[in-house]
Amino acid sequence: MLGLNSADISEIFTVSFALFAVIDMLGSIPVLLSLKKRMGEISAVQATLVSGILMLLFFFIGEQVLNFMGLDIHSFAIAGSIVVFILGLEMVLGLEIFRAEKDNKSGNVVPIAFPLIAGSGTLTTVMSLKATYHAYNILIAIFINLIFVYITLRSLNLLERALGPSGILVVRKFFGVILLAIAVKMFRGNIGF
């Protein structure tokens, strides 16, 4: 049963840091700025809520949902790695594969909420943390990370002004290569299963 007596600061810190590293909002800033340029404004509230709902769903029923659809975690991770790879290609080559929809709100869900924020790595991590840490501490860590996600999304205009056009271009190309490497690592790590 979940309760305040289950809260453990060191567990919360450890799980929060693990999720922070996997979500990698700081590394996603160039991708988000690129998507913002095409979509117009990004709804921080919608993207954060959808990401949070996905994380909570996978926390509570992730494996059952994937099993019900006849999928395993590795197939899910491979699919997410392909989407991340395409985003990396866009950034490095200056291509536009994810076209802006007429309804800009859909961009807040795909590719921002999924797979950038609540991607296969995040969702897999959320499910696997249950084996080691208490559920209450994981839920607190998810909430802490969602606050950071929201603050980052709300600060995109400030970050864009601080970097300037040439800074955004340099950071975008650099993190595009990083995204490609992450996608290849995710793909390679799951292809043998």
How do residues 104-154 score in pLDDT, each as one tens digit? Answer: 567 788 889 988 899 877 888 888 788 788 999 999 999 999 999 999 999
CB 114 within 8 A of CB 46: no
CB 31 within 8 A of CB 115: no
pLDDT over 70 percentage in the chain: 92
Given a cut of 90, is residue 187 above it in pLDDT?
Answer: no
CA distance 34 to 110: 14
pLDDT score recorded for residue 99:
59
CA distance 30 to 170: 9
CB 32 within 8 A of CB 153: yes
Given a cut of 90, is residue 7 above it in pLDDT?
Answer: no
- The whole-model pTM stands at 0.74
pLDDT score recorded for residue 98:
62
CA 30: distance to chain centroid? 13
Q: If DSSP states are collapsed to H, E and C, what string results for 49-83?
A: HHHHHHHHHHHHHHHHHHHHCCCCHHHHHHHHHHH
**2 torsion bin: left (phi>0), alpha (psi -120 to 50), beta (else):** beta
CA distance 106 to 49: 13
Q: What mean pLDDT, rounded, does the chain reach?
A: 84
How do residues 59-116 score in pLDDT, each as one tens digit? Answer: 999 889 888 999 887 887 788 778 778 878 887 888 777 655 555 567 788 889 988 8
Mean pLDDT, to the nearest integer, of 53-64? 92
Higher-pLDDT residue of 6 and 48 is 48
CA distance 137 to 4: 9
